[in-house]
Amino acid sequence: MQSTSDTGGAGAATVLPFPQTRKEPQIAFDRLELTRILDLYGRMVAAGEWRDYAMSFGKEAASFSAFRRTAERPTARIEKRPALRGKQGMWTLYGEAGQVLKRGHELAGVLFPLERKLLKIVED
């Protein structure tokens, strides 16, 4: 905001618009998707599997990367790519070496291999 001095006692101000740097739409997770992903992240942290995460939002995809240690490659990466919605599904789970572990149309199905790690056998 740029202030200008006027002879009027009220002190008029000129409002300048903030320049828009992003013209293209940005892909992001909606609230329910992010809640589901962060819930899994919290359980993996409690289990000692993950310690850090990063999110990336671009014009073609949004991704959530989970790390065992900050300086490493991500242990798992969950990617949302809406352009693939009609084909193999917009959700993809990548492993540590970048290999595709699971693809699908539903987030729950794609997260299942990670959630399976949290299951423990209960003895009677």
Predicted pLDDT at 106: 93
Q: How confident is the model at residue 12 (pLDDT cuts 50, 70, 90)?
A: confident
How many CA atoms within 13 Å lie on the side-chain side of 110?
24
Phi, psi values for residue 108, rounded to 5°: -60, -40
Query: Residue 84 corresponds to which amino acid?
Result: L
Task: Tell me the CB-side half-sphere exposure of residue 26, using CA atoms within 13 A.
Answer: 11
Return the pLDDT at 3.
46
Integer Cα distance of 46 and 55 in angstroms:
20
With a cut of 60, say whether residue 21 has pLDDT above it. Answer: yes
| Mean pLDDT over the full length of the chain | 84
